[in-house]
Structure 1
Amino acid sequence: MAHEDDRRCTRCGIPLSRYNTDPRCAACTRAAGNERAALPSLPEHVWQNPAVTAALADWDFGTAFRLIRQAASLRQEDMSVITGLSQSFLSTLESGTRRLLNIDKIIPVLERLGVPPHVAPIPVPGSAAQNRPQTSGTQPTLLPTPGWESPLDIAKRLNATTSSNTDPATVAVLEQGVTDLVDRYETEGPHRLAPEAVDLRNFIQGRLDGRQPPRQRESLFRLAAQASGLLGYMAVNAGREAVAEAYCKEAEELAKGIADLELIMWIQGTRSLNAYYAGHYDQAVRWADAGLEIDPDHPQAIRLESNGRARALGKLGDRSGAERAIAAAEELSSRHLVPVGLTSCISFKPYGMARTLANAATVHVSLANAPRVLAYADAIDELVEQSDSAWSQALVRLDVATALLAGPRPDVEHAMVLGRQVLEAGGGPPIRSVVQRAGELHAGARSWQDLPAVREYGDALRSWQAAPQTRDLAKSAKMTRPTEQTRGPADAAHSRPGRISSQPSTQHH
């Protein structure tokens, strides 16, 4: 949406939120409401003019407004201020090219004009005495039947019940805002997008503080839960564990309020991710299990099995449990229609097959099963290379590099070359997972620290970690080494022209 950042309040000139579709800020909207109480009253003789009363009785408001202006010696601009209608709209009413028929607009206009009850074509607010029929002489006054509401009271209650501070167009803008954050996330990263996500979340909260019909309110609850969920995921990648959990808790409660079980499963997956990168692998499994208990056959369960259970169980050294979780994720992927390519890591949609297999490779890094790591990496190599995800490219290469250090015949030099190439490419905007795995690769090569290739990678790593955001992430990252079990000979993956091969270049004993 072009130039939305330049929008300002038409009353006071302060900048408006990019999501605010109103022309004025909230303070000026309230001030405008207060000004109505100070509107001038029209002379009494206006309401004694037979032409005025006849026009009002016929609901011919254009003629009535023109006659009222003339009787009170008002300009059209003055009438616009009193009625709250734009001058251009008043002009079309008075010329007869348009008519005022909307009861929601007519009632406040009659109130602002101060039309007496005996002249108004419909009831207007006032005391019981004002609403009685006018009498003359000693004719008895007819009182309304006790206990009945006036038509105006009923109309005002209905208007209050069905009124909304959020129209469908605003909901559509907010939905696009969520989609936009997801689409831009892997290119711009959490540090750049978090302020926009906070702005979106706060604007949605401002809408929730008002009144909406049930369907619009449900949409706002879902949007608020999604915005908090995105902020929780961003906080995980930024190394803010406590903040991530707070956002996830908020998102979960909002999603529960509208019984959005799919979104709750996604949130539990993000909580599992947070616990995983904090090194709390048992808790990561528990959060994933909590999501799977909702619906183990749902497409969201693919992420919970592969990114949640499998990776955490791999870190815990539970080989059979991790492999069962991977198998469950692959079986679910075959039963559901999921994307083949690499989906965005922060997307609310189910995991695509490529991302599931990338997680499987990470699991086998923890299990020190180099052949399986290289096999999975080779299976998704083309999809990863064709994607725009610098993070996925970096993470898969770092997994391959770490796998090359495993087994009885580690290829240290090739591993360090892959690691340096990731650092030289930048790895995308700094996030915790890339920083952590780059550090783990260095820790895994500690046994060969006297080799020039390892020293060169260490120097490149320190230089890469010197950037402020990367340095902060490196401090928060929990560096762990792959478990020392079931090491076997590395199976060579086929190299392809123009790609970084996982084929060992030389064998070191």
Structure 2
Amino acid sequence: MLAGNSPFGRELRRRREDAGLSQRQLAEALAALAWDELELRVGVDGNLVSRWERGTAAPRPPYPDLLAQLFRATPEDLGLRPGLPSAREAGGGREPAFEPTMKILDRMLRTGSSNVSDGVLKQLERMTEEAVGEYERLGPLVLVPRLVKQREWVEGLCEGRQTLHQRARLYKVAARLSGLLGSLAIDRGDLATARAYCDEAFQLAELVDNDDLRAWVRGTQTLAEYYGGEYQSCLDLAVDGLRYGRGGEQEARLLVQGQARAAGRLGDTRTVMAAVDRAQELAADYPSGAVSPCLALDGYCGARIDGNAATALLSAGDLEGSRRFAFSALARFDAAGMAGPRSLTRIDIALTFLSDDEPDRAAHIVGEALTISASRPIATVTVRTGQFLDAGRRFLPTASMRHLAELAADWQNPARPGLPRG
């Protein structure tokens, strides 16, 4: 323990004040330096810095070296490591009581031990990426049990011991799985569960301090708020996500899936177009006939951007713009054979024709959408068809709309309806 008003304490305070830092700011700078240089999370705070300056506590490793690096000095310059203590200070001449060698070796073994190998982590990461790619093809009934089991297994691993690097990778996998489960809960209309999963995913992203992961989770959180009718919250989450994802692979998704669609619901056509224009500049290259997943871990493709732009402009009342983007997206969705996007985009197109008082043409297009998804009915198409019929209520006396209503009733998925995904 240092004596009160120690040389180190006085020197630390002088250098801190010369640098214009508060005790809390110095603690934050040390924590950031420990992570950047050592990938080590430390528990320093303003209270500990105050104790150092008052001389009631001495900095333990790695703080002497971190302080020296921060202030561009040596530990000796700061009043630390003045030399070996005298025999009296060391304990009256008694031989120091070091730990037994075997105890040190045992600690070394435990420090480097892990209940997960790099090979297992690579497999977990691959499985998570595959789940993202299979999301729309398999749907909630298949994926939920699988992902719940994987998430529980990962949680069990997290309770064990890993190296810092392995733990960060394990937390990233856990965050992806929670985010996927949150999105699947949105599909089933369970927004409370969706928000809980997404909050957990964001907490894990914070723990590993990963901006790409934070941006990906924010994109998923925008879905929950959008389908919950909380459009301002959706917009706020998208903007916050862009703080983390600006210039990264999630930026385009946040712009069109979150910001543009929420702005469209709020009637802000200018923001819709600004978001769409920027997203188009960022469109990821995909092979012909391929479309990025709706929860893409990498960049959003042009088809996804156009499909979301169509939904956003439809909400904002720009029927011509919505139709133009929808037809552009539809050609690529059809080429990729993606039943969900093919059906949902057709319903967006049908709504533009319905608004132009063309109920027969609109009803025919929705009928096509139902036919495309007939082999695997999905709840999103059911709900969007219901929204179409509600919007066209005044046209129900027409033969085409009556026929569509009967077709929709026969087609409807008996499972619990989910919320629409654009």
- TM-score, normalising length from structure 2? 0.73
Gaps in structure 1 of 5+ consecutive residues: 1-144, 479-509
**Match in the other structure for 1:271:** 221
Shift of 1:146: 6.0
Equivalent runs, 1:149-164 vs 2, <5 Å:
149-164=99-114
Match of 2:186 in 1: 236
1:449 to 392, 396, 399: 396
Any conservation in 2 of the 1:229–1:247 contact (CA below 8 Å)? Answer: yes
Q: For this pair of structures, how many residues does the alignment match?
A: 326
1:427 CA displacement: 6.1
Structure 1 432/282 Cα, relative in aligned 2: closer, same or farther at 3 Å? Answer: farther
CA 1:345–1:428: 2 relative to 1, 3 Å: farther
Moved more, 351-360 or 184-193: 184-193
In the aligned structure 2, how far is the partner of 1:339 from the partner of 1:159? 47
Number of the residue aligned with 1:57:
none
The residue aligned with 1:424 is 371
User: As a proportion of its length, which structure holds more helix?
Assistant: 2
Distance in 1 separating the partners of 2:341 and 2:134: 15
Higher Rg: 1
Instruction: Please tell me whether the aligned partners of residues 281 and 312 of structure 1 are also in contact (alpha carbons under 8 angstroms).
Output: yes
Q: Compute the TM-score of the two structures, normalised by the length of structure 1.
A: 0.61
Spell out the pairing of 1:41-440 with structure 2 (5 A cutoff). 147-333=97-283, 337-339=284-286, 341-407=290-356, 410-426=357-373, 431=378, 433-440=380-387
2:57 equivalent in structure 1:
none
Equivalent residue, structure 2, for 1:458: 405
**CA distance in 2: counterparts of 1:251 and 1:386, whole angstroms:** 34
Deviates more, 1:265-274 or 1:379-388: 379-388
Q: Deviations over 1:195-231 (max 9, x none)?
A: 1101111111111100011111111011111111111
CA distance in 1, matches of 2:385, 2:364: 12
Alpha-carbon spacing, 1:428–1:372, altered in 2? closer, same or farther (3 Å): farther
Q: How many Å apart are 1:429 and its aligned residue?
A: 5.0
Q: 1:473 is matched by which residue type in structure 2?
A: P
SS of 2:417's equivalent?
helix
Retained in 1: the 8 A contact 2:377–2:411?
A: no
- Name the SS of the counterpart of 2:248 in structure 1: coil
Residue 282 of structure 2 aligns to a residue whose secondary structure is helix
1:263 Cα offset (Å): 1.1
Q: Please state how far the C-alpha of 1:319 moved relative to its aligned partner.
A: 1.9
User: Contact 1:368/1:403 (CA < 8 Å) preserved in 2?
Assistant: no
| Residue aligned with 2:294, SS | coil
**Does structure 1 retain, via aligned residues, the 8 Å contact 2:340–2:373?**
no
Equivalent-residue separation in structure 2 for 1:384 and 1:425 (angstroms): 12
Find the aligned partners of 1:428 and 1:266 in 2 and give their Cα distance.
31
Equivalent residue letter for 2:417: L
CA distance in 2, matches of 1:396, 1:426: 12
- The answer on whether the counterparts of 2:330 and 2:346 sit within 8 Å (CA) in structure 1 is no
What is the CA-CA distance between 1:321 and the residue it aligns to?
2.2
Q: Tell me if structure 2 keeps the 8 A contact 1:339–1:351.
A: no
Asked whether the 8 Å contact 1:281–1:315 carries over to 2, the reply is yes
Contact 2:215/2:241 (8 A) holds in 1: yes
Q: 1:213 to 1:289 in 2, by over 3 A?
A: same
Quote how far apart the aligned CAs of 1:156 are. 0.9
Taking structure 1 as reference, are residues 272 and 378 closer, same or farther at Cα in structure 2, changes over 3 Å only? Answer: same
Unaligned runs of 5+ in 2: 1-94
The 8 Å contact of residues 448 and 454 in structure 1, kept in 2 or not, is answered as yes
Partner of 1:468: 414
Q: Which amino acid aligns with 1:324?
A: A
% identical equivalent positions: 30
Asked whether the equivalents of residues 220 and 295 of structure 2 are also in contact (C-alpha less than 8 Å), the reply is no
Q: Is the 8 A contact 1:390 1:427 kept in 2?
A: no
| C-alpha contact 1:361 1:376 (8 A) present in aligned 2 | yes
Equivalence map 1:15-26=2 (5 Å): none
Q: Deviations over 1:59-109 (max 9, x none)?
A: xxxxxxxxxxxxxxxxxxxxxxxxxxxxxxxxxxxxxxxxxxxxxxxxxxx
Name segments (4+ residues, structure 1) moved above 6 Å: none
Q: Measure, in 1, the Cα distance between the counterparts of 2:203 and 2:376.
A: 31
Contact 2:310/2:321 (8 A) holds in 1: yes
